[in-house]
Structure 1
Amino acid sequence: MESESYSGYTVWGHAILQEEGILQPERYAASGTITTGGKLIEASGVLGHFDREEDAQHTGLDWARAWVDAYG
């Protein structure tokens, strides 16, 4: 999980490990969350699946920043 301050909100990028099978390579589901003052403002569903944890986190952060730009 990675977070940053953005336009008065705290935005979060999540990488959720997907365990599909023992012989399958690890994959990560991306999601994003927006909070302010410790209160949940908005959360995404699954934004996509990625081979790298960092890519999933960055996708979640990108979604959260875009949401703030559009609705915040």
Structure 2
Amino acid sequence: MESQSYQGYNLWGHAILQQADILQPERYAASGTITRHNKLVEASGILGCFDTEEQAQHAGLDWARAWVDSHG
């Protein structure tokens, strides 16, 4: 999980390990969460699957920043 502060909100990018079969390479589902004053503001569903944990976390943060920009 990666976090950052943005325009008064705390943003979280999540990477959720997705491995249906042990013989397949690891993939990570991305999601994002937005909080303010320790209260949940908004959470995404699954935003897509990525090859690395870092890519998934960044996708979650990108979604969260876009949400703040469109609701600010």
2: CA distance, partners of 1:22 / 1:13: 25
How many Å apart are 1:33 and its aligned residue? 0.3
How many Å apart are 1:55 and its aligned residue? 0.3
Equivalence for 1:7: 7
TM-score under structure 1 length normalisation? 0.98
1: CA distance, partners of 2:22 / 2:16: 17
2: CA distance, partners of 1:19 / 1:39: 31
1: CA distance, partners of 2:17 / 2:2: 14
Q: Could you tell me which amino acid in structure 2 is paired with residue 46 of structure 1?
A: I
2: CA distance, partners of 1:32 / 1:43: 6
How many Å apart are 1:40 and its aligned residue? 0.3
2: CA distance, partners of 1:27 / 1:20: 9
Runs of 4+ in 1 over 3 A off after TM superposition: none
SS in 2 for 1:57: helix
Residue 65 in 1 paired to residue 44 in 2? no
How many Å apart are 1:12 and its aligned residue? 0.4
Could you say what the CA RMSD is over the residues aligned between the two structures, in angstroms? 0.5
TM-score under structure 2 length normalisation? 0.98
Where do 5+ consecutive residues of structure 2 fail to align?
none
Equivalence for 2:42: 42
Aligned residues: 72
Equivalence for 1:55: 55
